[in-house]
Amino acid sequence: MAIVKLCTYPNCNEFAVPHSIYCNKHKEKSDKKRIAFRNAKRSNEAFYKTSEWRKLKKEHLKENNYCVWCGCNNDLSVDHITPPKGNPDLFFNANNLQTLCRTCHRIKTAREIELNKYKEK
C-alpha cells in the first residue's frame, strides 16, 4: 500500500500525487517553473560561446581584477548583475557586469534562486 503524503508547497494541505512531492495543482506549477528555468538557461548558453562575450569578459577582468564582494583577486568570474534571461542587450551590456570570485558567485546565484522561489508564488 502506498504511503499518502501531503503536498510540500507552502500552506497547501492537499495530498501529493503518487511519486511526487506536490498535489496536482502545484505539480503543474513546479513543472512549468522547471521548464522555464531550463529554457532561460539554454537561451544564455549560446551567448557564452561567442567571441563578443569572450572579448567583453577579458576586458572586464583586466579592468576589474578583484571580487566586488570580498575583495579577493583569485579564481574570478564575470557575473551579470541582472540576469539577462536571453536578452542580448542585457547580456552584452558592460554596465551589467561585475567581478566575483567563484565562492561569492555561488552565494549570489543561490540567493537569486531562493528569491525567485518567493517571487513566483
pLDDT digits over 78-107, tens only? 999 998 988 999 999 999 999 999 999 999
Cα–Cα distances in angstroms (integers) from residue 27 to residues 37, 38, 116, in the given order = 15, 16, 17
pLDDT digits over 12-44, tens only? 999 999 888 899 999 888 777 777 666 666 778
The residue assigned the cell 551567448 is: 47
Q: What is the mean pLDDT of residues 108-118?
A: 85
Distance CA 67, CA 74 (A): 8
Q: Residue 107 has what pLDDT?
A: 96
Q: Would you list the domain boundaries of the chain?
A: 1-49, 51-119
pTM above 0.85, yes or no: no
pLDDT digits over 65-75, tens only? 999 999 999 99
The residue assigned the cell 513546479 is: 30
Between 113 and 91, the more confident residue is 91
Distance CA 70, CA 16 (A): 43
Please report how many Cα atoms fall inside a 13 Å half-sphere around the Cα of residue 60, on the Cβ side.
Answer: 22
Q: Residue 82 has what pLDDT?
A: 94
Distance CA 23, CA 85 (A): 29
Please report how many Cα atoms fall inside a 13 Å half-sphere around the Cα of residue 67, on the Cβ side.
Answer: 18
Strands 97-101, 76-80: pairing is antiparallel
